[in-house]
Amino acid sequence: MMTERDLVGKLEVYLPPGTSETIARWIARSGVHFRITMPRNSVYGDYLHPHAGKGHRITVNGNLNAYSFLVTTVHEFAHLECWNKHRNYVKPHGEEWKKEFKILMHPLLESRIFPRDIDLALRKYMADPGASSCSDPDLIKALRNYDRNKMLMLDELPEGGRFRFGDRDFKKGQKRRTRYECVEISTRMVFLISGTAEIEVLGD
């Protein structure tokens, strides 16, 4: 079994300096099976509660920049802490989860490890954390500033532009609040896609 010191060595490649010890301690204390995965388009990370003889499980995408990796990890550990206290008797991202997220994130914010733009966006997000940090436009834009290979967001594509999202090709339409009406080119079906979705621009 991997020791806490071994965990620090594995994690420090993915996390901001000075934070791998904290995450290693959380992993060791909780006994969670923590796995770093290949990129997934639909999620940055996920949490599965104990079931069918398996314990807590957390996965986080390994291609995230260090700050996105940390925020995602905190998000998933908040689920773990919420499940330990409330099991399935509360909403996945209800007040109980928000409380746990704030408790876990507070000391990291106070340690001043985040750049100013992320710090400001994260403090604003902390006032009412949502189901996904990726759904908060200000926070996702601040986090994306530190991506190695920055992709275009749907917000940045002109209306009528053609793009690929996942394995489907679309044409961008009008905006509805935070999402755009996008027509899938092959089927003519209309989908609502978040303005913060990372896309690949297609030629005419």
Report pLDDT digits (tens) over 4-45: 888 999 999 999 999 999 999 999 999 999 999 988 766 889
Q: Nearest to residue 65, comparing CAs of 20, 14, 8?
A: 14
Which pLDDT score is estimated for 133?
Answer: 54
Under 8 Å CB-to-CB from 61, ≥6 apart: which residues? 36, 37, 38, 39, 40, 43, 44, 45, 69, 72
Report pLDDT digits (tens) over 142-175: 999 999 877 788 999 999 999 999 889 999 999 9
φ/ψ of residue 83, rounded to 5: -65, -40
Domain boundaries, the chain: 4-144, 152-201
Q: Nearest to residue 105, comparing CAs of 134, 80, 73?
A: 73
Which pLDDT score is estimated for 127?
Answer: 85
Coil/strand/helix, residue 197: coil
pLDDT band at 196 (very low <50, low <70, confident <90, very high): confident
Q: Nearest to residue 151, comparing CAs of 183, 197, 110?
A: 197
Alpha-carbon Rg for the chain in angstroms: 18
Question: Which of 43-52, 68-77, 135-144 shows the lowest mean pLDDT across its residues?
Answer: 135-144
Which pLDDT score is estimated for 134?
Answer: 55
Chain mean pLDDT for the chain:
91
